[in-house]
Structure 1
Amino acid sequence: FLITATMAAPALIQLGIPAIAAHMFVFYYAMFANLTPPVALASFAAAGVSGGDPMKTGVQSVKLALAGFIVPYMFVYNTALLSIDTTAAITIRVIITSMLGVFMIGAATEGFFIKKMNLFLRVIVFAAALFMISESVYQDFIGLAILIALIIIQKIKKPATTA
């Protein structure tokens, strides 16, 4: 983190990003070094414990953590997550909708919400997640409406029968 912070944070701050947001961005990505190949220390340790292939484990860990790669950008573009120049009510709303958005990105990536999703639903859920992680209350409502529609669709959808 220290090396990354001394190199990247000043550049981000010069771009007009608040210092705390710049450092959270850098900190978050520095922590992903443990997850992503070729370093992937946490993934390689998990592969050693499970007896799995280290590179396959690293790639799978990146797929599972895909939503996490968007979080640092949320700190930069939506500083209400860090309670910068905002009210408590807005911060709470942004945190809740951002958490739902990250959850929805995970669901879209894995292809499963309540039930398995087809490619079309996965794309729709991913788009709704992007609405949810923005700072606009109107986009949050659009994302919530799509989430509610998805829940309804998944609840009433009948499972495929096999003969």
Structure 2
Amino acid sequence: VMDPLLEGAKSTLVIGATVGVIGIIVGTIQLTGIGLKFSQIIIDLSFGYLPLAVLLIGIASLVLGMGVPVTAAYLITAVLAVGALTDMIAQMQWGVTLYELKQPLENLMPWDAAYVAISSQIGWALIASHMIVYWFSQDSNITPPVCVAAYAGAAIAGSDPWKTGWTAFKFAKMLYVGPFLFAFSPGFLLGGPGFIMPWYQVASTWFTIILGTIAFGSLTMGYFLCPTTVLEWIICAMATLLLFFPKIVHWAVGIDLPTLVVDAVGIGLWIMVLFMQKTRIRKNPDLTLPVAQPSEVA
């Protein structure tokens, strides 16, 4: 009985010390106004372009995660970046900043009623911002050169730490795509502006994201049912973009197509790759055989 109690006390000391240090950092950031300056820096460096802002926050989380625990990396990055992210997501969805949304509401109704109205609208944007930071705060565990979780796994397995780190990086590819889905696919968080979405829209979003994940895996690994050709790889890339980000057609060519139409095109491209590979396998069944690694060859 005493041994578990002793181990629990030791773990609590580590957690308590970490939380105490984080509290000092967060308090310093809030009292000095560094958080507001950092948020403005993110907006300036990204030129107000949300994908670039998400990428910059991912890099900041990775660097922070190299020197502090995951929880600390999340809390520090959240204090610094969530404000800017929430404002940019609101700008993308409604065409106005949170301040511009707040002013007319406060002029029309009491402050507390305006606060409730604003909260119902920005709830999704705020949660999306925190989820972006939270997901990115995990990447330092499996991203070389400092990937503590991968190195711990390598020590247990007796494998090469560097190769294990890069293997973990390859297997965790969706960890880097997820934050962009949080930013641009409200259904991924079961909500959206107003924080209410019909169930069929949520189901449609999740269905296309699942298919997009399969296409993305084929794209990055160069293998689906069998190794992909260059043409199949290009089609997988197009299917991935259309299934993950239906608005990309509007951003790229200025044509505002319904989401269902874009999803249907993406699914059609994915099915095309499926049939192309099945046709190749029927002609040459050996395509599905595993390729022996040099170390496996006698």
Task: Tell me the TM-score normalized by structure 2.
Answer: 0.51
Alpha carbons of structure 1 residues 62 and 123: separation in structure 2 relative to 1, 3 Å? farther
1:2 matched to 2:75? The reply is: yes
1:111 Cα shift? 1.2
| Separation in 2, partners of 1:41, 1:121 | 36
User: What is the one-letter code of the residue matched to 2:276?
Assistant: I
Q: 2:224 and 2:178 mapped to 1: Cα distance?
A: 20
Question: Which of the residues 268, 277, 289 maps onto 1:145?
Answer: 268
Give the match for residue 97 of structure 1.
208
Tell me the percent identity: 29
Counterpart in 1 of 2:157? 50
Measured in 1, the distance between the counterparts of 2:175 and 2:182 equals 12
Q: CA deviation at 1:160?
A: 7.1
Higher relative contact order (CA closer than 8 Å, sequence separation 6+): 1
Q: Does 1:36 align with 2:109?
A: no
Question: What is the Cα deviation at residue 70 of structure 1?
Answer: 1.3
What SS does the aligned partner of 1:52 have?
coil
Show the counterpart of 1:159: 284
Q: Separation in 1 of the partners of 2:188 and 2:223?
A: 27
Paired residues in the alignment total 162
Give the deviation of 1:110 after TM superposition: 0.9
Deviations 1:97-129 (A, max 9, x none): 012102211121111111111233122212211
In structure 2, what residue type is equivalent to 1:61? A
- Contact 1:80–1:91 (8 Å) recurs in 2: yes
Unaligned ranges ≥5, structure 1: none
Deviations 1:63-122 (A, max 9, x none): 222233111111101112211242111011001101210221112111111111123312
**Given the alignment, which residue of 61, 65, 74 partners 2:181?**
74
Maintained 8 Å contact 2:242/2:262: yes
In 2: Cα distance, 1:49 partner to 1:120 partner: 41
Distance 1:16 1:111, change over 3 A: closer
In the aligned structure 2, how far is the partner of 1:124 from the partner of 1:42? 34
Asked whether the 8 Å contact 2:235–2:273 carries over to 1, the reply is no
Change (3 A) 1:103 1:144: same
RMSD (CA atoms): 1.9
Please tell me whether the aligned partners of residues 239 and 266 of structure 2 are also in contact (alpha carbons under 8 angstroms): yes
For the pair 1:127 / 2:234, whether they are aligned, the reply is: no
Q: Structure 2 stretches of 5 or more lacking a match?
A: 1-73, 91-124, 247-258, 287-298
Higher CA-based Rg: 2
Contact 1:64–1:110 (CA<8 Å) still a contact in 2? no
Contact residue 134 and residue 140 of structure 1 kept, 8 A = no
